[in-house]
């Protein structure tokens, strides 16, 4: 254990964010690292509990008390090894993970409002060890000190695996399988590798250079990447089955939920991902043709949906220089603190404020869009809505609550409804579940030699879950390849 009684003597202290007035003018990351002495002090707060609930909170089962102690005692190389033993991309989760580990930290057992030394209660569990920050800084330091080296397999098996989709699930599966000596090819329909790490999550949350340096490690370990190949179109599922011993489906769950109301076809209504992908491309140096460009500059922006996607639209709209940014969420505002039915160490369903929300704009809950209003040229000009409340589990309109707000850019960020069946999944003949995800209990689909992981299996989720699923699927594939029936064709 680190420092006995450290948790009693030292208060939680979060790292700083760049000032809002500065960060809204660029796309660089908003979070700043903690100085080393402060980070070690924070690591000293870990109690090394008999039963570390943070392990269960983290879908990867990260060895959190171990690396907290190694940071406290300055053993950075060992800390990096302990961290990488369970997590392929800690520099990513250390930035974008909502940190369910912190929610289940024993120091978070008692929630004390405003107990956070940095005054950011509500944004993070007030008492928990700053696990995510420590994770990020171990990973960053490992890269800075050139300790992240390729782990090449000592023996090649000659077995060939195709991974379809290069998000965190596909990349984690590919890396694990390459390290077992298999020949892994990742197919990606986009022009760059990374899935939502590349084209969903904005640079202000995670700069893409981090992804590129990690991809260099995968390449050096023998993973091949083929971009611009839409499997199901450019090459069919059966063709791949004939060429590879196993296939891992990690294509994500990117079918967006639509808004079937009057006015949906007006100019100025877009899915959030159309907007976010474009901005990620601009930051990467691509030029978006003017007629296709979706910009919030000078516009009254309304965002429907309050999750990560909605929040990323808020932050991007601020950076574009929107005239106003309003977020509407259909469901009522969550409570400030845990309710008794949602006890520790469960993930707390409470009101949260993201860095993008802190940057400005209006957030309203319990708002249902009724219709969209346009001008004579077919451009969106306003949104008409009503207020709703929950009664006996049903959303009920409040009489006389109808209102209209000016809106010339509407971004739909209301979640995703699974994976498209047409194309690859149909060609392979894999079974789907009731939520239009690929059915793959224990990661094996209904078709021999075909596996699935990440959002494509569990529905739109989190990066940490995608990595965890990619790793588990790789274990299953490796075991399958050891069997006599491993030839798929």
Ligand X SMILES: Cc1cc2nc3c(=O)[nH]c(=O)nc-3n(C[C@H](O)[C@H](O)[C@H](O)COP(=O)(O)OP(=O)(O)OC[C@H]3O[C@@H](n4cnc5c(N)ncnc54)[C@H](O)[C@@H]3O)c2cc1C
Residues near ligand X (CB under 6 A) are 96-97, 164-170, 187-190, 195-196, 200-201, 205, 230-232, 250-252, 254, 276, 308-309, 312, 424, 454-456, 460-464, 466
CB 335 within 8 A of CB 351: yes
Q: How many CB atoms lie within 10 A of CB 84?
A: 17
Sole binder of ligand SF4 in the list 106, 131, 138, 206 (CB under 6 A): 131
C-alpha 205/C-alpha 199 separation (Å) is 12
Token pair in block for residue 90: 């800690």
Of the residues 99, 129, 301, 385, which one makes contact with ligand SF4 according to CB under 6 A: 99
CB 468 within 8 A of CB 90: no
> What tokens appear for 236 in the block?
């069919």
Shortest CB 140 distance to ligand SF4, Å: 14
Partner that binds at residue 64, options ligand X, ligand SF4, none, CB closer than 5 to 8 Å by kind: ligand SF4
104 lines the binding site for ligand SF4 (CB under 6 A): no
By CB under 6 A, residue 130 contacts ligand SF4: no
Which of ligand X, ligand SF4, none does residue 352 bind to, with CB < 5 to 8 Å depending on kind? none
Listed in sequence order, the residues at least 6 apart from 43 whose beta carbon sits closer than 8 Å to its beta carbon are 2, 68, 69, 71, 72, 129, 134
Q: Does 101 bind ligand SF4 (CB under 6 A)?
A: yes
83 exposed, middle or buried (CB, 10 Å; 0-12, 13-18, 19+)? Answer: buried
At 417, phi and psi to the nearest 5? -115, 25
C-beta of 79 vs 466, nearer to ligand X: 466
Pick the piece of the chain touching ligand SF4 (CB under 6 A) from 127-135, 138-146, 238-246, 366-374.
127-135
Contact between 201 and ligand SF4 per CB under 6 A: no
Minimum Å distance from CB 254 to ligand X? 6
CB of 70 to ligand SF4, least distance (A): 14
Count of residues near ligand SF4 by CB under 6 A: 14
Residues 51-70 that bind ligand SF4 (CB under 6 A): 57-58, 60, 62, 64
Q: DSSP strand E in 189-292: where?
A: 224-227, 246-249, 269-271
Shortest separation between residue 458's beta carbon and ligand SF4, angstroms: 16
Binder among 42, 68, 80, 93 for ligand SF4 (CB under 6 A): 93
Residue 454: CB minimum distance to ligand SF4, A:
15
Which residues in the 382-441 window bind ligand SF4 by CB under 6 A? none
Q: Do 220 and 183 contact (CB within 8 A), yes or no?
A: no
Q: Does residue 148 interact with ligand SF4 by CB under 6 A?
A: no
Question: Is residue 432 classed as helix, strand or coil in its secondary structure?
Answer: strand
Cβ 364 to ligand X shortest distance, Å: 21
18 interface partner picked from ligand SF4, ligand X, none, CB below 5 to 8 A per type? none
Q: Which does 309 bind (CB under 5 to 8 A by kind): ligand X, ligand SF4, none?
A: ligand X
Give one DSSP letter per residue of 2-64, joined into a string: -STTHHHHS---PPPB--HHHHTTS-S--B-PPPHHHHHHHHTT----SS-HHHHHSTT---H
Contact of 267 with 473, CB cutoff 8 Å:
no
Could you tell me how many residues make up the chain? 489
Backbone φ and ψ of 197, nearest 5°:
-65, -30
Q: Where do contacts with ligand SF4 occur on this chain (CB under 6 A)?
A: 57-58, 60, 62, 64, 93, 97, 99-101, 131-132, 135, 464
């Amino acid at each position: 254990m680190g420092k006995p009684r450290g948790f009693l003597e030292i208060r939680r202290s979060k790292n700083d964010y760049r000032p809002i007035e500065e960060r809204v003018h660029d796309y660089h990351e908003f979070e700043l690292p903690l100085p080393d002495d402060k980070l070690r002090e924070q690591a000293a707060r870990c109690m090394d509990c008999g039963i570390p609930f943070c392990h269960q909170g983290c879908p990867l089962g990260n060895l959190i008390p171990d690396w907290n102690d190694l940071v406290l005692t300055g053993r950075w190389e060992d800390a990096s090894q302990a961290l990488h033993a369970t997590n392929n991309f800690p520099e990513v989760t250390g930035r974008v993970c909502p940190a369910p580990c912190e929610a289940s930290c024993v120091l978070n057992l008692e929630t004390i409002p405003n107990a956070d030394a940095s005054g950011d209660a509500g944004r993070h569990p007030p008492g928990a060890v700053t696990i995510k920050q420590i994770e990020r800084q171990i990973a960053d330091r490992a890269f800075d000190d050139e300790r992240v080296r390729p782990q090449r397999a000592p023996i090649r098996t000659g077995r060939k695996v195709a991974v379809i989709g290069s998000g965190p699930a596909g990349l984690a599966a590919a890396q694990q399988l390459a390290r077992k000596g298999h020949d892994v090819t990742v197919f990606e329909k986009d022009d760059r590798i990374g899935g939502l790490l590349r084209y969903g999550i904005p640079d202000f949350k995670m700069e893409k250079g981090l992804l590129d340096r990690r991809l260099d490690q995968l390449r050096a370990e023998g993973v091949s990447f083929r971009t611009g190949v839409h499997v199901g179109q450019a090459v069919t599922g059966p063709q791949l089955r004939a060429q590879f011993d196993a296939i891992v489906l990690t294509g994500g769950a990117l079918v967006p939920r639509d808004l079937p109301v009057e006015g949906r076809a007006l100019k100025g209504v877009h899915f959030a991902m159309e907007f976010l992908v474009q901005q990620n491309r601009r930051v990467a140096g691509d030029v978006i043709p003017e007629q296709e460009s979706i910009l919030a500059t000078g516009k009254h922006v309304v965002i429907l949906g309050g999750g990560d996607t909605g929040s990323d639209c808020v932050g991007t709209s601020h950076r574009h220089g929107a005239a106003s940014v309003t977020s509407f969420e259909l469901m009522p505002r969550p409570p400030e603190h845990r309710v008794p039915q949602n006890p520790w160490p469960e993930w707390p369903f409470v009101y949260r404020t993201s860095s993008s929300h802190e940057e400005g704009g209006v957030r309203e809950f319990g708002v249902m869009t009724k219709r969209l209003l346009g001008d004579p040229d077919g451009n969106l000009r306003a949104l008409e809505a009503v207020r709703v409340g929950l009664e006996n589990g049903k959303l009920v309109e409040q009489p006389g609550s109808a209102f209209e707000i000016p809106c010339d850019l509407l971004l739909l960020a209301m979640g995703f409804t699974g994976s498209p069946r047409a194309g690859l999944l149909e060609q392979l003949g894999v079974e789907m579940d009731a939520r239009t995800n690929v059915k793959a209990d224990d990661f094996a689909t209904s078709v021999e030699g075909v596996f699935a992981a990440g959002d494509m299996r569990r529905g739109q989720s989190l990066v940490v879950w995608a990595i965890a699923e990619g790793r588990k699927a790789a274990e299953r594939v490796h075991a399958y390849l050891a069997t006599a029936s491993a030839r798929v064709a």
